[in-house]
Structures are given as C-alpha cells and as structure tokens.
Amino acid sequence: MLDIKFVRNNPDAVKENIKKKFQDDKLPLVDEVLELDKKNRDIKQEVEALRAERNKISKQIGACMAQGKKEEAEELKKRVQANADRVEALSSEEKKVEERIKKIMMTIPNIIDPSVPIGRDDSENVEIEKFGEPVVPDYEIPYHTEIMESFKGIDLESAGRVAGNGFYYLMGDIARLHSAVITYARDFMINRGFTYCIPPFMIRSNVVTGVMSFAEMDAMMYKIEGEDLYLIGTSEHSMIGKFIDNMLDESQLPQTLTSYSPCFRKEKGAHGIEERGVYRIHQFEKQEMIVVCKPEESPYWYDQLWKNTVDLFRSLDIPVRTLECCSGDLADLKVKSCDVEAWSPRQKKYFEVGSCSNLSDAQARRLGIRVKGADGSKYFAHTLNNTVVAPPRMLIAFLENNLQADGSVRIPEVLKPYMGGMTEIKRK
C-alpha cells in the first residue's frame, strides 16, 4: 500500500505505474482518492476549528455565569451544542471517507522497481540466468505420477474418494523422499543463518488483507466458516504477520526466518494437462524464507533469497533457471519478483518451483510493522519472501532429473543421510 502523501504529490507517477501493469481500469481510482483525501483534510480542519471555538465559548460561558449573565450564557450553551452536533456529523462522515480511502489505497498497486521489464503477463517474463546443464536422457521419462506409481508411492484414487480432486496420498519411499527433502531444506536454511520457525497454520482477516491483495485473497484463501480465520496459502503470510503492530528497534534487523507449514489453496480456474497429478493441488507442504529489514538492505536480501533456492536445487543435481517477472505478472504489493524454474527432461523445458519477491514497505504499511532508528526516526520496514522448496511439485523435478534407465531413482549425496543411507529408490 502506498503512502497517501506520495499519491498526493506524485499522481502522474502513480497513474503511469498503473498503466505499466496494464490495469487501466484502476486509473479513475487515483483521482477519486485524491478528492477524498482533500475532503478528509477539509473535514479534519473544520473539526479542529470547531473544537477550538468550543473551548473559547466554554470560557465565555464561565465568564458570563460569574457576571450573572444567565441569558447570554444559555445562548452560548446552545452554540456549544450546535457545535457538538456538527462535530459528531463530521466525525461520522470522516470515518466513511477514511474507510473508502483505505479500500482504494489497498487496491492501487505498489510502484514497481525501475528494473522490472514491461509486459502484459507471464508469457513476457525474461530469462535471467541458467544454472546447471539441462539433460535429456536417451530413455523415456514417464509422467511424474507414473514414476511414483512404479514405486507404489501415490494413491490419487483413494484421495479422490476421501477429499476430491486436488488431493493425494503419498506412500512408502516417495512419502519418505517428500519428508527428506523438506527436512534437508530446513537444515540447509538453518546453516545459512536463518532462524527455524513453525508458524500458525491459520490467520485472521486483518493479517490476510495485510499480506496480499484482494484479488489474491479471493483466488487462494479458504475461510473457516463462522470464525475470523483463514487457512494459510503459504507460511509467508503468518510469518510476516508475526510482526503485526510491532515497533522494532533497528538493532533487531534484519529478521531472517525460515518456516515449515502445510499450505492450502483454492487454485481456481482451468489448468492444462501438464498440471494434473500433484502439480497443482489444494494441499501441499513447503519450506519458506522471509526477511524483515531496513529499506536500503532489501535489494541485497532479494538477491540472497533467490540464490538460496538456486543453490538448494543445484545441490540436488537439478538444473534451474531464474526468470524476471514482468510488470503485468507482478501481484499488486510486489515491487520486484523472480521465479525459479526447474528443468523437466520429460517436457524438455523448465517449470516453476518457487518465487522470490521484494514487497518494499507495502506489507509493513498495511500491518503496522515499523522500525525505530538509532537517531530516533521511525519508518516502515521492508519485507521479502521466497520459496525454499515446495514438494510435491519439487518431487516432479527431482524424480525426472534423477530417474535412471532401469526405472530406479538416484539419491543425491546430500540427501542420503535423510533417506537412511539409501543410494537409490527401486521399483516395487
């Protein structure tokens, strides 16, 4: 969420930013919020003047009473009452105006970083760099569910009867591999200096609206009926929410946390054939990383976060690449974002396995996460997040890239301790 002062002083820049995000339908909101802002300031000014007048009249009433001028005092009391009625009416109007301003300000997108490429959607994202050599073996790579089934490692049919489409049972060695990857990712991030955390898996509505846009909320979140609680779509939400309404001392920054959680998503819309199986599902587990830092440090942490994911995937012998998200593919709170994509030897292309984002002070402004500087100054923190690893989607990349000609799956060296020393998973 932008500062209203910034919008007031830079309306053309705000409109240009909206155009760069191809959200022209939001352009009228800028003029509307500026009109409301002026109205709100006028109301406050009038209320202040009325209260000053009331204080002045109150003194006059006291003087009149002391001088025995009761009739004059009564007339002044009527003025005080009229004054109070006007203040009450203005205060009511002020509340409505401020609610509308807040709703608009939470809809106007954040100012994107100058380095972000301009594009309408994810088809115009720009490749930054490749890591590792993509390999297509001379033997067939089956679809990921077929690989899992060869190890008796997945049961979609039973899950469909129990919970419907978008759910799964992972079994045996595949379930163990899933847990091994999560545990390895946890230790990987702890070794990089991040504090491990298991957060709440449900959050209140004020946290939801603090960490994401209304459009994201509608597309992702499951609400608990009858309660002010939502199931988290990613642990980033409750991790950033941990700092809601906090005044952090500058010496406490940066806050670098890595968290485990299950995640729940509606995943609305139609999806292609390549997104069946366990690619796009309603329930999954994830290791996440977040940073709360000083504004000038957020570009540094942005680079550190996406590099962590690249390094983890490369340690598992999975080739990856990074893509710079274009303006039209950025969620409204983000100023800059890149996707990490893993190589699929079966499809002979890359697919998304993680996303790194710098949200500047957008989440902090919504959630009231402020910092007190050494010089006594106060400002909003910057927040960033990135996926460490999110199986079972990550398992697709793992299985395809480590599948051997005989149908077994090789276990990379770093994962062997988490798999009880196993060197490979064999067909059942």
**CATH 3.30.930.10 domain span(s) along the chain:** 122-425
Cα radius of gyration rounded to whole Å, the chain: 28
Structure tokens at 187: 């230790």
**CATH 1.10.287.40 domain span(s) along the chain:** 4-105
The answer to whether 325 and 125 are in contact (CB under 8 A) is yes
pLDDT at 280: 81
Phi, psi of 335 (to 5 degrees): -100, -20
Helix spans in 316-387 (H): 362-367
Q: Give 133-150 as a DSSP string.
A: -----SS----HHHHHHH
Report the distance separating Cα 345 and Cα 397, nearest Å.
9
What is the per-residue pLDDT across 249-276, written as a single tens digit (0 to 9) for each? 999 999 999 999 999 998 765 455 555 7
pLDDT at 412: 96
Report the distance separating Cα 378 and Cα 381, nearest Å.
10
Work out the angle between the directed axes of helices 70-105 and 27-66 (0-180°, nearest 10): 160
pLDDT at 275: 59
Angstrom distances, CA of residue 386 to CA of 36, 164, 307: 36, 29, 10
User: Using alpha carbons only, what angle is made at residue 419 by residues 415 and 420, rounded to the nearest 5 degrees?
Assistant: 125
User: Using alpha carbons only, what angle is made at residue 201 by residues 282 and 231, rounded to the nearest 5 degrees?
Assistant: 45
What is the per-residue pLDDT across 40-92, written as a single tens digit (0 to 9) for each? 999 999 988 888 888 888 788 777 777 777 777 777 778 878 888 888 899 99
Q: Assign a CATH topology to domain 122-425.
A: BirA Bifunctional Protein; domain 2 (3.30.930)
Report the distance separating Cα 294 and Cα 165, nearest Å.
43
pLDDT at 365: 96
Helix spans in 67-171 (H): 70-105, 144-150, 156-162
Provide CATH code, domain 4-105: 1.10.287.40
Angstrom distances, CA of residue 221 to CA of 191, 213, 228: 32, 11, 13
Q: How many residues does the chain have?
A: 428
Report the distance separating Cα 322 and Cα 27, nearest Å.
32
Helix spans in 151-277 (H): 156-162, 172-190, 205-211, 214-220, 235-241
Structure tokens at 88: 């009450």
The DSSP element (H or E) to which 309 belongs, if any, is: helix 298-315
pLDDT at 269: 54
Q: What SS3 class is residue 422?
A: coil
Q: Which regions of the chain are under pLDDT 50?
A: 270
Of residues 1, 403, 395, the one with CA closest to residue 177: 395
pLDDT at 196: 98
The residue type of 223 is K
